[in-house]
Amino acid sequence: MPGSADQFSFSHALIRTTLYEELSAARRARLHRKVGEALEELTGSAPETRIDELAHHWLSATQVADMAKAIRYARQAGDRAQQNLAFEEAAAHYERALSVLAPHDRAGEELRCDLLLALGDVQRRAGSANYRDTVAKAVAAARALGDGERLARAALASSRPGGINSNANVVDEELHALYEEASAALGEADSLLRARVLGQLAVELAYTPDRDRRNALSREAVTIARRLGDPTGLAQALNLRLHAINDPFTLAERLDLTAELAALAAQVGSSELAWHAAYHRAGALLESGDIAGAEQSLAEVERLAGELRQPFYMYTARQGRTMFAVMRGAPDAEAEAFATFELGMAAGQPDAAEGFGAQIYVLRHYQGRLAELIDVLRANAEAQPHHPAWRAVLARACCDTDQVAEARAQIDILRVNGFDDPPNCTWTGTMVALSEVVSDLQDRAAAAVLYERLRPIAGQVEVFIVIINSQGSYGLFCGMLAACLGRWDDAERHFTDALAMNERLGARPSIVRTRRAWASMLLDRGAAGDAPRAREFIAAGHAEAEQLGMAREIVRFERLRERVA
């Protein structure tokens, strides 16, 4: 090499490979062992300084007597790569260690389980769907060992980073049973591991009707963590509780919890916990109408996602940015939605298509193009009965495309339980769509039930699954329902609040819809002075709808103009 008398490099990698392959396997192994020994001498008590080279040479030495050392170095190299956020590199080290491990006793089986857990974790953080197969092997290994702690760790590895539920597409009864099994294996004694298992079980129950159980499990997890006094453990339990209790009726508690979680994340210096605090806080602040605070928190979500360099965090941050674009009727909202979807697919997210569907549905609704989604919405409604939101938005699409009979049929299916679905993170999507449909259909019986359910949160902003969608003020939908019921004063109050809130949010499509619904109510009421006010709302709303390309709203405004004429 230039400038050095005793260092050499190959002029082409092919030459190096050819020479290497010409060595016999036995000689190669001996030479690797010699290099490994020389590196140990050079590094002394600090092997981590050249841990990758140590792992490579000892794994290539291939002598049975050297395997324990080789696996140890490979594991240390994997751990170091993980700490440096080099997840693919870490996975390669763990995979090589597993490839040469041949367990002959319990200690060997325990090591295999631990390596599988480490491999599954870095695969998950790298966005590789292979982590599910790896975790399944770890679960089987822990069961075979009869090791409750390893079983609990394996169960927890099924979730996505930070404890977000494993897959929103399904209610995974088998996974729920695994958490129950792990909890029983740990016993009743307080431990941070038990707190995490209880908290994660609560999160995995998010799409079931068990709202009270989610609340109880996550509360118990937080109580255990507080008793143990470990700030990191408490922060993890708080994050899980925030996922488990995410519905509009817990807003005050979630605002308090996000502030506590942010303080704990700063105390322990964890960017990952800080990301979760900012993520939950962005959604909660938006729900409360604090648009400046929500945008600031989302900016923090994006900044921390860049630090963490994990596909899941970058994808979720991008979802939040797309949510704001759709909410505000931004010209690039559709391009943002497609780019977010591509990022989610590349990140190996099992419900990326559903997240995309939720965002594109709102966009198409604003554009008056729900006819394009009817078949997809119908398929999702049948395939995912645990998400009544799909059936509700199908009814909305039928109504918007003048398929009134099918819209009524879908509403009747949802009416069976009296619209009494326990609130969860998707409940808002159901209620908002239902409110619009029953108002259009003038279904007063349904409107009366829905109004009583939504009225307590009329002053809040609708947000779907933390930061996926927002359709603006709940006041708009409460106003529609009150108007359907002929409760004119209540409707007027709700529309007044909704318009003010939506203007503060900059939610232009929701401003258009508020003006249209308010104008319709004024014409229905027909009191003195209502017609001139309705004309003002129609004129302003129609002009804005044209600017935004809201085809269906334009048609609705023109029908209102005919009425007022």
Band of pLDDT at residue 175, cut at 50, 70 and 90: confident
Band of pLDDT at residue 168, cut at 50, 70 and 90: low
Band of pLDDT at residue 167, cut at 50, 70 and 90: low
Q: What is the mean pLDDT of residues 29-48?
A: 77
The one-letter amino acid code at 91 reads A
Which residue carries 């909410």 as its tokens? 327
Q: Report which of 301, 346, 307 is spatially closest to residue 320, judged by C-alpha positions.
A: 301
- Which residue has better confidence, 23 or 300? 300
Per-residue model confidence (pLDDT) at position 333? 95
The one-letter amino acid code at 31 reads L
Band of pLDDT at residue 420, cut at 50, 70 and 90: confident
Q: Report which of 411, 379, 376, 380 is spatially closest to residue 395, judged by C-alpha positions.
A: 411
pLDDT in tens, 115-143: 999 999 999 888 887 888 999 999 999 99
Per-residue model confidence (pLDDT) at position 32? 75
CB 80 within 8 A of CB 51: yes
DSSP 247: S
Q: Which residues of 188-220 are buried (b: 16+ CB within 10 A; e: fewer)?
A: eeebbbbbbbbbbbbbbbbbeebbeebeebbbb
* Region of poorest pLDDT, from 18-27, 119-128, 381-390, 418-427: 18-27
Per-residue model confidence (pLDDT) at position 38? 84
Task: Indicate if the pLDDT at residue 531 is higher than 80.
Answer: yes
pTM for this structure? 0.84
Q: What is the mean pLDDT of residues 459-463?
A: 96
Q: What is the DSSP string of 22-61?
A: HS-HHHHHHHHHHHHHHHHHHHTT-GGGGHHHHHHHHHHH
Per-residue model confidence (pLDDT) at position 160? 77
Band of pLDDT at residue 165, cut at 50, 70 and 90: low
Per-residue model confidence (pLDDT) at position 478? 98
Q: Report which of 258, 248, 249, 252 is spatially closest to residue 278, judged by C-alpha positions.
A: 258
